[in-house]
A and B are shown apart, each in its own frame.
Chain A
Amino acid sequence: MRKLSHPDHLAEWKRIIQGERPAYQKVIAVSSGTCGRARGSLQILETLTQEIERRKLSDTVGVEATGCHGFCEMEPNIVISPEGLFYKKLEAKDIPAIVERTILKNKLIPSLVYEDPATGRKYPRQREIPFYQKQMRLLTENNYRINPERIEDYIVLDGYQALAKALFDMTSESVIAEVKASGLRGRGEAGFLTGKKWELCREAHGHPKTIVCDADEGDPGAYMNRGLLEANPHSLIEGMIIGAYSVGASEGFLCVRTEYPLAVKHVTLALEQARKHGLLGAAIFGSEFHFDIQVVQVAGAFVSGDETSLIAAIEGRKAFPRQQPPFPAQQGLWGKPTNIHNVETWANVPVVLNKGAEWYAKIGSDKSPGTKIFNLGGRINNTGLAEVPLGTRLRKLIFDIGGGIKNNRALKAVQTGGPCGGCIPAGKIDIPLDYDTLSQAGSILGCGGIIVMDEETCMVDAARYSLNSSSEESCGKCVPCRVGTKQMLEILNRITRGQGEALDITRLENLAAVMKAASLCGLGQLAPNPVLTTLRYFRNEYDAHIREKRCPALVCQGLLPEKKKAKNTRRPETGRKAI
């Protein structure tokens, strides 16, 4: 296909692609994100392709490697269209039967169908599975329809139409107004209004302006950005181009972690394809707008989650944060106005323009519109990526979508927002998940990591683990964070060893107050959260450790009764640490 030099070419191209597509009667989408591949999805893909060829079905049955379908617990899995059948936890030996019975004779194979462990009911169709049915998948719905290595698949699903609309039917100002009206907030730490940020950048002096996509997802326990990068790279690229048009930027950077090789591959390929078809580079869609994006491989530092330290990393300096204001939207990369958002925020932009601000603002809660992808992990039955409207109650996420706690144990707490988030106790499980409510409860929404802890988790130990990550990741530039994380960690280490003192709690609170007030960036300001929330909601566990020299959850090795020690504790597989 030639370069698109007019917005009408998009519809034309879509028709051409549809005309040229083989008329498959069935398409099998194999979930092949990093998790899927680790569980053998590529082998499934190969066996399927061979089996289809062997039976000479290549003209009627298509096999595609797609990005992650979100239900990571059930990897490797496939979705068979048009029926939308979902087969879970496949092995190569299942393939001949799938082709023989399901593809050729339209019969189900009951052993591969998802069964709800709670009710025992079987759900053959993906849509009907409670994990999917209770979600609202604005960003992730298309994952099983797209081969991320082909731009054509995105075009057929009306990709780049939001960009065409922005460039030809709207002015930069009206795009900003639309995004502002939608109420879209940054899906990273701060939850700042996206449209407001664009406006600041547009009004700031300095040229050239820059757009940055933060895909350096360093938060341990969260991979929704990787999911999007691998599965639907064009959605965030389209968002970035629209953002660039609105603020008047000519250059963009997409910063991906080196630890995500598949994401780097898909994004690089997507950018090449977009460039080839005139959607990036000089004269986009034949307009007067020029913009290009380059990939930067960030070399692994959690602190790059702060905008100013990411800027330093792109500039080729150590990823140290700096004082704000001036905000990056005013003075960012090389001192010029720069707009930084993470992957999920950028991927929301085309949705806002396609569906309209009014429609978008109605989803989610009043002050936090839209959906959010949450990463369910820890002691929960259905691990994976779940997209729900903001303001959804935690209970719904954990029990209706997540399928409840592993082995039917009792829920104790939920950590939201990664190691810088706080622990919400089981008693507050009806809390709505949005920026403001969570911060009132002492936690953060963060990038959306949800770690579920059951009754066998020691909350003091959980706080200690989080502090340990924060102290390792602290860049060391400012004293409150560098020294504070270390001192808090040492106190917690002592408490979990049975050497806690009555004064320790006051010491922890004082350190936390200083760190919150005086740290330079979010890492130091938020690092005390796990300690503060566990002190607030689980004070009795601290008291048991310090006064009674006892670990109620029987996790802290130094505090176990002699008999238990000999038995090597209740949880041999995890040793003394457990969250």
Chain B
Amino acid sequence: MDIEKILKESGTSQKDLVPLLHKIQAAYGHVPPESIAAVAKHLHLSESEVFGVLSFNRFFTLAPKGKILVTVCQGTACHVRGGGRIVEEMEKKLGIPAGRTTADKKLSLEKACCLGCCAIGPVVVVNGTHYSLVSPQKVDSILEKAKTAE
């Protein structure tokens, strides 16, 4: 999808900024840094204001992400049940720290502050599919499934 086309469909006031960034990220998987200038011009904002909102909200990312998104919940309840160990195990298995994408650009690993499924933690979400009561032993099979699901 073309940036221009997304811009055309959006309003031009400041309150349209976040919805616009959502649309761009949905189309590209990330917000391409070169789109910042176009967005700023469209909304009559400075580039720094756009960049500010973009980098403040943890949901947006400037770097391209893999098609497979693995999110590990780090909320209090998941933490109590060992969510930290799950992230460590994922990092070890994938060879990347959380927040990064694998070298083949296929898979990104993310931490979330709370996904709101506290009763069934630790929770891992792979492209919208929830895995509950995850233990470090289950990490392998989750990653295996994630790679084949692509």
Contacts and interface: CB of A to CB of B under 8 A. Distances in A.
Nearest to A382: B119
A573 B57 contact: no
A518 B112 CA distance: 29
A388 B116 CA distance: 21
Contacts of B14: 315-317
User: By CB atoms of chain A within 10 A, which of B80, B119, B120, B135 has the most?
Assistant: B119
B8 interface: no
Interface string B54-84: 0011111000000000000011110111101
Interface stretch (A152-160, A181-189, A292-300, A543-551): A292-300
Nearest to B119: A72
A302 B77 CA distance: 16
B82 A573 contact: yes
A226 B116 contact: yes
Interface stretch (B98-106, B125-133, B141-149): B125-133
B115 interface: yes
Contacts of B130: 34, 37-38
Interface of B: 13-19, 21-22, 43, 49, 52-53, 56-60, 74-77, 79-82, 84-85, 88, 112-120, 123, 128, 130-132, 135
Interface string A475-514: 1000000000000000000000000000000000000000
23 contacts: A35-B117, A75-B119, A219-B114, A220-B77, A222-B114, A223-B114, A223-B118, A226-B116, A257-B116, A258-B22, A260-B116, A261-B128, A296-B18, A299-B18, A299-B57, A300-B57, A316-B18, A383-B77, A451-B77, A465-B76, A469-B76, A469-B113, A574-B85
A573 B81 contact: yes
A259 B115 contact: yes
B77 A319 contact: no
Given A38-B132, A299-B59, A301-B58, A574 B118 contact: no
B79 A377 contact: no
Nearest to A476: B56
A314 interface: yes
A451 B113 CA distance: 16
Given A219-B114, A575-B88, 17 more contacts: A38-B117, A38-B123, A39-B120, A72-B117, A75-B119, A220-B113, A221-B114, A296-B19, A297-B18, A297-B19, A300-B59, A315-B14, A316-B13, A316-B43, A378-B80, A573-B81, A573-B85
Interface string A312-351: 0111111100000000000000000000000000000000
Contacts of A434: none
A473 B57 CA distance: 11
A58 B79 CA distance: 44
Contact of A316 (B15, B82, B84, B88): B15
Interface string A427-463: 0000000000000000000000101000000000000
A318 B52 contact: yes
Given A383-B119, A574-B84, A577-B84, A220 B76 contact: yes
A529 B130 CA distance: 33
B79 A579 contact: yes
A279 B105 CA distance: 48
Contacts of B128: 261
A379 interface: yes
Contacts of A375: 118
User: By CB atoms of chain B within 10 A, which of A37, A223, A465, A473 has the most?
Assistant: A223
A364 interface: no
Given A315-B15, A579-B80, A223 B59 contact: no
B65 to A, nearest CB: 15
Contacts of A575: 82, 84-85, 88
Contacts of A64: none
A518 B17 CA distance: 32
A73 interface: yes
A73 B132 CA distance: 11
A319 B75 contact: no
Nearest to B58: A300
A307 interface: no
Contacts of A419: 76
User: By CB atoms of chain B within 10 A, which of A297, A316, A384, A575 has the most?
Assistant: A316
A449 B81 CA distance: 16
Contacts of B114: 218-223, 259
